Amino acid sequence: LPARYAGSEKSVWVEYIQLALENKPLNLGQGFPDYAPPEYITKALADFRRSPDPLLQQYTRGFGHPRLIAVLAKLYSRLLGKEINPQTEILVTSGAYEALFSSITGHVDEGDEVIIIEPYFDCYQPMVKSAKGICRFIPLRLKKNSDVVSSGDWVLDRDELEGLFNSKTKMIILNTPHNPLGKVFTEAELKVIADLCIKWDVLCLSDEVYEWMVYKPNKHIRIATFPGMWERTITIGSAGKTFSVTGWKTGWAYGPANLINNLFMVHQNCVYTHCTPIQEAIAMGFELELTRLNSDECFFNSLPRELESKRDFMGKFLKEVGMKPTIPEGGYFMIADWSALASKVDMNSENDKYKDYRFTKWMIKNVGLQGIPPTAFYSEPHKHLAENCVRYCFIKKDENLKKAAEILSNWN
Ligand code: PMP
Ligand code: GLN
């Protein structure tokens, strides 16, 4: 194994998807909806099968299918209040994963430092290491310890963050709305990050795949709209999250041409082009939503409404069983502290190093409910911060959330 992959052998997804297949628990682990996406999007893909244009079955433009980049440019030009060039400022990728990979390997050189906010979506670290970059971690810390905790109570210490910036810093990776906490960074918090990026001439890689899943009264703010930030920000989105079709694995990155050009180079020498039919159907989905962006029927508005009641239901049943959830402001995950229930769990039945792995595995095998161990989202020195927690996903049918509540209350 090349040295740059040492330490990246284990993946929480590989391990926990296998556990789900073997034990068949009620699965609130990996993040995906267990119900159908909007009908128009699957219909778009099905109709397109009968399209008279045979070229739609062949390779499309490498950096993004023309119909998709056109509508993405229209959408983000409107959201950012600035004209985006579809040819030079957008790259369509095989999932947001590939957008992250192209951004990181296209910009980070050996010895460059990358600031990562913990907890973090787990692939950031191996991607930085594969570019021979150096990760510098800073944890979000819970600023108060009350009975009702919101993801907004998890904050960065300004001085600690400032202390990480130096002449070797190449990039900071931001994720808002956040996986796994559900934190939606406020304007003031983003300004601290933006000011430091400008002061130290640092790039911001902004992972905004949950941009449409934000609960009132919170607002998703794009850091690329801050003065002086467009020129140093690469923003990432995902059709899987946007249209509830995670299996379609289509993402994108947008930003200024000089930054996106490096991503083009990685992409053209790796996957070269992404599937045509899927891109065509996603373009049709965006074309429809763009005509009704401010209306209640727009999927980007109806989905968060629907998710908000699922979030509240989960927050309630986790509390009832004795866990201490952090109520998310966005995204579709909930972190909960289970330490009050530790005496009900045989913590010696598994030999994993971290308690959250032992807890979640015991729960899968003995109680029939699956969550994800959140130490997977921390660097080694900070894993202890999440050992008493579990992550549950709530973009699930109401009946399955009810089943989860029953499973927990019967166990209790
Ligand atoms: N970033 C975050 C924060 C995510 O949660 C995910 C979900 N897997 C991704 C990126 C990757 O998205 P995709 O499925 O489009 O590759
Ligand atoms: N983003 C999803 C999650 O956090 C899926 C991750 C994955 O499958 N690698 O659950």
Q: Is the Cβ–Cβ distance between 239 and 96 less than 8 Å?
A: no
Average pLDDT over residues 18-39: 97
The best mutation among 16, 97, 249 to test binding of ligand 1, ranked by most ligand atoms within 8 Å of the C-beta, falls on 97
Q: Whole-angstrom Cα distance, residue 381 to residue 378? A: 8
| pLDDT tens per residue across span 249-297 | 999 999 999 999 999 999 999 999 999 999 999 999 999 999 999 999 9
The atom number, within ligand 1, closest to the CA of 240 reads 15
Question: Does ligand 2 have an atom closer than 6 angstroms to the CB of 95?
Answer: no
pLDDT(172) > 90: yes
Cα of 122 vs centre of ligand 2, distance in Å, is 9
Q: Which residues contact 411 (CB under 8 A, 6 or more apart)?
A: 321, 344, 367
**Partners of 389 in the β-ladder:** 337
Question: Does ligand 2 have an atom closer than 6 angstroms to the CB of 206?
Answer: no
pLDDT for res 164: 98
pLDDT(8) > 90: yes
**Partners of 335 in the β-ladder:** 326, 391
The best mutation among 116, 179, 242, 333 to test binding of ligand 1, ranked by most ligand atoms within 8 Å of the C-beta, falls on 179
Q: Residue 121 CA: which ligand is closest?
A: 1
Question: Would you list the domain boundaries of the chain?
Answer: 3-37+298-411, 40-290
Question: Does ligand 1 have an atom closer than 6 angstroms to the CB of 235?
Answer: no
The best mutation among 11, 12, 13, 27 to test binding of ligand 2, ranked by most ligand atoms within 8 Å of the C-beta, falls on 13
Cα of 104 vs centre of ligand 2, distance in Å, is 19
Question: Does ligand 1 have an atom closer than 6 angstroms to the CB of 121?
Answer: yes
Q: Whole-angstrom Cα distance, residue 121 to residue 205? A: 13
pLDDT for res 54: 85
Q: How many helices (H) and strands (E) does the chain have?
A: 13, 15
Q: Is the Cβ–Cβ distance between 210 and 332 less than 8 Å?
A: yes
Assign 136 a pLDDT band (cuts: 50, 70, 90). Answer: very high
**Partners of 252 in the β-ladder:** 92, 237
Q: Give, in words, the CATH class of 40-290.
A: alpha beta
Q: Residue 100 CA: which ligand is closest?
A: 1
Assign 50 a pLDDT band (cuts: 50, 70, 90). Answer: confident
Q: Residue 395 CA: which ligand is closest?
A: 2
| pLDDT tens per residue across span 320-334 | 999 999 999 999 999
The atom number, within ligand 2, closest to the CA of 97 reads 9
Q: Is the Cβ–Cβ distance between 379 and 23 less than 8 Å?
A: no
pLDDT(152) > 90: yes
pLDDT for res 339: 96
| Rg (the chain; Cα; Å) | 21
Cα of 238 vs centre of ligand 1, distance in Å, is 7
Question: Does ligand 1 have an atom closer than 6 angstroms to the CB of 190?
Answer: no
**Partners of 337 in the β-ladder:** 324, 389
pLDDT(394) > 80: yes
Average pLDDT over residues 180-187: 98
Beta-sheet pairing, 169-175 with 154-155: unpaired
Average pLDDT over residues 390-406: 98
For the domain 3-37+298-411, what is the CATH code?
A: 3.90.1150.10
What would the DSSP string read from start to end of 268-311? HTTT-S--HHHHHHHHHHHHHHHTTTTSTTSHHHHHHHHHHHHH
